[in-house]
Amino acid sequence: MKNDLMIRAARGEAVERTPVWMMRQAGRYLPEYRAVRGQTEFLTLCKTPELAVEVSLQPYRILGVDAVIMFSDILIPVEAMGQVVTLTEKIGPKLPEPIRTRAQVDRLIVPDPIETTPFVMEILRILRRELDGAVPLIGFAGAPWTLAAYMVEGGGSKNYAEIKRMMFAEPKTLHALLDKIADTVILYLNAQIEAGAQIVQLFDSWAGELSPRDYAEFALPYQQKILAALNRDAVPAILFINGCGTFLEQMATSGADVLSIDWRIDLRDARRRIGDRLGIQGNLDPCVLLSTPELIASKARELIEAGGGRRHILNLGHGILPMTPVENARAFIEAGKGLR
């Protein structure tokens, strides 16, 4: 590869500089993305390979990021499992028939990703061809707890009352759901690797809503099951959790090569807590990108220094915000790439 910095950093190998990319880097902050999005619905964009490839490549062409992540949505395999999903970018996902009973769980299927989501694999194949080794290609999936939260709540939530009610009152039903999702994600990510993904990221965005004890029972075992079952001898795996500070040490036992952390944890402290055997990705507060290029560059330098130049991938602590000025996003990427 012409630029394999991110793969080497994830494996703990020597790098000339810290690699840098941004979660949600293909998105509404880019006028070029808005131009494509303005002509099609969000779910159609996810399912149309030529359009998804175009928006996936935009951050690489415009900002020069060190990796391309395929454009998709974590709920794509949920729809394949048999639950109705509507995706509206500004409103968020809606699942009009939320899972509340064991009978509903039993009706869900573990889908064959090649048959039910062929467009995802086609997106990856085209991206590998288009990139031609320029930078690594990232595939991804949602983790069971986070997907279950959407499936049980019927969409986003402020307090996660429904899934927590199930967790406390009907734990066997929730475990059955989580296990079925894990089996689905294993097949889904392995198909992505076969189609060309060179790195995979598992998003358990809402696991931070759990206590350490509940994380150990309802999230961690399913992360471990997935990561242990992936065909990834040459494909590093990243695990992202928003709000992971209370159980970072437990997260380190997931089997991921890299832990992607939010901005609420000091990066040096995170390194002290998990040691040198795992990589760390992050962890700039996305709101810093709403400030000035000078401050952004300063904050990027601080993170690179804290990362120590080894097993660190510079990124945000969550996805880039839609109102972020493009020049500020560029300042972050350029600051990262300018430091060795």
Residue 150 is among the residues annotated as catalytic for this protein: yes
- The catalytic position among 29, 33, 60, 150 is 150
- The catalytic position among 4, 29, 60, 73 is 73
- The catalytic position among 11, 17, 28, 125 is 28
User: How far is the C-alpha of 161 from the C-alpha of 212, rounded, in Å?
Assistant: 18
Residue 188 is among the residues annotated as catalytic for this protein: no
Give the pair of three-digit tokens for residue 136.
């690594």
User: How far is the C-alpha of 253 from the C-alpha of 220, rounded, in Å?
Assistant: 8
Cα dist from 274 to 59, 200, 211, 251, 278, whole Å = 31, 21, 19, 9, 7
Residue 107 is among the residues annotated as catalytic for this protein: no
Residue 37 is among the residues annotated as catalytic for this protein: yes
Is 155 in a helix, a strand, or coil? strand
Residue 24 is among the residues annotated as catalytic for this protein: yes
All residues at 6 or more sequence positions from 335 whose CB lies less than 8 Å from its CB, including other chains? 296, 297, 300, 301
- The catalytic position among 4, 8, 24, 33 is 24
- The catalytic position among 11, 37, 100, 273 is 37
Give the pair of three-digit tokens for residue 178.
């989580």
> Which H helix or E strand runs over 328?
helix 326-337
- What residues are labeled active site? 24, 28, 37, 73, 150
